[in-house]
Amino acid sequence: MNGVITAIAVVKFVILLLGGGITYIAFKAYRRTGENSLRILGIGFGVITLGALLTGVANQFFSVSLARGVLINSVFVALGLAVIMYSLHIQK
């Protein structure tokens, strides 16, 4: 089980790096263009990334069960994807 916990921590760290990078790039593009959909896109990826971070921390440091952590993370992913979908449909 120790190997699984280590693998989860590594994957959560990779999600944090990649999600943070995408969020940063989206906000940078928003500042450059002023396009509101890019700002909302960044928020969506930020929600997904925040969910991964919070559930990883909750699981590692606050003894939240793996099943509950997966549920919470899934809620964040669903919310983030809904925001991303919205960002792709709004018009200027």
Instruction: Show pLDDT as tens, one digit a residue, over the chain (92 residues).
Output: 688 888 888 999 999 999 999 999 999 999 999 999 999 999 999 999 999 999 988 988 898 988 998 999 999 999 999 999 999 998 65
The pLDDT assigned to 90 comes to 85
HSE at residue 28, side-chain half, CA atoms within 13 A, is: 6
The burial class, CB within 10 Å (0-12 / 13-18 / 19+), for 3 is: exposed
Would you call 41 helix, strand, or coil by DSSP? helix
pTM for the full predicted model: 0.89
On whether the CB atoms of residues 55 and 64 are closer than 8 A, the answer is yes
pLDDT of residue 91: 63
